[in-house]
Amino acid sequence: MARAKKRQARDGRAGSPKYHLRLFVAGDEPNSAIARQSLDKICSTYLNHNCQVEIVDVLEDFQPALDERVLVTPALVIIEPPPKVVIFGNLTDTEKVLSALKVAM
Q: State the CB neighbour count (10 A cutoff) for residue 35.
A: 26
The Cα–Cα gap between 42 and 94 comes to: 7
pLDDT of res. 16 = 63
Least confident window among 2-16, 32-46, 62-76: 2-16
Contact of 17 with 51, CB cutoff 8 Å: yes
pLDDT band at 11 (very low <50, low <70, confident <90, very high): very low
Kindly give, in sequence order, each residue whose CB lies less than 8 Å from that of residue 6, ignoring residues fewer than 6 positions away. Answer: 52, 53, 54, 55
